[in-house]
């Protein structure tokens, strides 16, 4: 950081000086200047005094009681159990669905056999490095459904990074691919005209990759309307389905790779 040698120092410079933002040499020079500039010196003292008062005011703050900690821990545990329960339900439904499909195919044609060795195997690791769902894709086309049930600016950005990376890589490898992003509950914000932080990027990605589809849950839209009286407007790239969860289950039954966001 540098400063211009004015007769009187600017407020920004004085703030930066008090906040110790200048290298030692410049700081010394500025402090020497203050000896001859009473107005700036007085202002710097005011800023410094204010800074000290703020620091003191927050040096000893109320700490959360054990009751608060237990309450919050319970809420987080509840969230975790809910998501695990949901994941189990989805996996169970998928297994039932896949078995049904497999059996019915066997019944139709006894000459058809499952050739798992030829199929492409996908492994998705969660942040802890544990494998989530193993999915086998028997067709040549790679099909991935991203299930978005909550999102923030950070995770939405990360999600789109992953999707873009996946699409790029697949096209580069001449791998046919279809990707669907199904948004429901809080995740719907990703596709809401007013709330989406990633609208320009979604528009660009949709234009660039026809293989990519965004799907919004109409049940969530209805609930928002019912509970908050808000008419949700989706971004133009979003398609819709009555139930986001049912849609994801359907895709799982069809053998799509499932990634929960």
Partner 1 sequence: MIQISFKTASKRTFKKALEAHRPALYKIAWSWCHDVTLAEDLVQDTYARALKNRSQLKDLTKLKPWLARILVNLHADYFRAKKEYVELENKHLMSDLDPITLASREESIQLVRYAISQLNDKQRKIISLIDIAEFSYAEVAEILDIPMGTVMSRINRARQALKEQLENIERQQLEKQIEKKLSQTTPRLRRVK
Which parts of 85-144 interact with partner 1 (CB under 8 A)? 121-129
Rounded to 5 degrees, φ, ψ at 85 are: -60, -45
Token couple for 167: 């699409």
Question: Which C-beta is closer to partner 1: that of 93 or that of 195?
Answer: 195
DSSP string, 58-85: TTS-PPPPHHHHHHHHHHHHHHHHHHHH
Beta bridge partners of 83: none
- Binding-site size for partner 1 (CB under 8 A) equals 49
Question: Which C-beta is closer to partner 1: that of 63 or that of 107?
Answer: 63
Asked if 65 is part of the footprint of partner 1 (rule: CB under 8 A), the reply reads: yes
Across 68-103, b (16+ Cβ under 10 Å) vs e yields eeeeeeeeeeeeeeeeeeeeeebeebbeebbeeeee
Question: Which C-beta is closer to partner 1: that of 24 or that of 154?
Answer: 154
Per CB under 8 A, the list member of 51, 74, 176, 225 interacting with partner 1 is 51
CB 224 within 8 A of CB 195: no
- Report the phi/psi class of residue 235: left, alpha or beta, with left for phi > 0 and alpha for psi in -120 to 50: beta
Which parts of 3-22 interact with partner 1 (CB under 8 A)? 11-12, 15-16, 19, 21
Asked if 63 is part of the footprint of partner 1 (rule: CB under 8 A), the reply reads: yes
Beta bridge partners of 136: 121
Asked if 24 is part of the footprint of partner 1 (rule: CB under 8 A), the reply reads: no
Asked if 26 is part of the footprint of partner 1 (rule: CB under 8 A), the reply reads: no
Reference 159, options 189, 192, 190, 195; nearest CA is: 190
| Cβ at position 121, least distance to partner 1 in Å | 7
Asked if 224 is part of the footprint of partner 1 (rule: CB under 8 A), the reply reads: no
Distance from the first to the final alpha carbon of the chain: 41
Asked if 210 is part of the footprint of partner 1 (rule: CB under 8 A), the reply reads: no
DSSP label of 22: S
Per CB under 8 A, the list member of 23, 29, 69, 168 interacting with partner 1 is 69
| Positions that interact with partner 1 (CB under 8 A) | 1, 11-12, 15-16, 19, 21, 46-47, 50-51, 53-58, 61-65, 68-69, 71-73, 75-76, 121-129, 152-155, 158, 162, 166, 169, 186, 195, 228
């Amino acid at each position: 950081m540098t400063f211009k040698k004015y007769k009187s120092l600017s407020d920004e410079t004085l703030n930066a000086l008090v906040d110790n933002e200048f290298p030692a040499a410049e700081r010394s020079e500025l402090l020497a200047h203050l000896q001859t500039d009473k107005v700036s010196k007085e202002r710097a003292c005011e800023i410094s005094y204010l800074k000290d008062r703020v620091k003191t005011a927050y040096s000893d703050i109320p700490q959360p009681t054990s009751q608060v900690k237990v309450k919050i821990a319970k809420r987080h545990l509840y969230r975790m159990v809910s998501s695990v329960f949901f994941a189990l339900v989805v996996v169970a439904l998928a297994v039932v669905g896949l078995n049904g499909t497999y059996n019915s195919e066997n019944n139709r044609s006894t000459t058809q056999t499952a050739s798992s060795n030829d199929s492409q195997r996908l492994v998705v690791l969660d942040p802890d490095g544990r494998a989530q769902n193993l999915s086998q894709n028997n067709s040549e086309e790679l099909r991935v459904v991203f299930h978005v049930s909550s999102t923030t600016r950070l995770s939405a950005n990360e999600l789109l990074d992953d999707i873009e990376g996946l699409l790029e890589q697949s096209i580069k490898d001449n791998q046919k691919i279809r990707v669907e992003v199904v948004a429901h509950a809080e995740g719907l914000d990703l596709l809401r005209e007013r709330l989406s932080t990633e609208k320009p990027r979604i528009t660009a990605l949709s234009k660039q990759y026809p293989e990519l589809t965004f799907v919004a849950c109409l049940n969530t839209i209805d609930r928002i309307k019912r509970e908050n009286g808000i008419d949700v407007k989706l971004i133009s790239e979003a398609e819709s389905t009555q139930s986001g969860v049912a849609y994801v289950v359907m895709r799982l039954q069809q053998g799509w790779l499932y990634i929960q966001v």
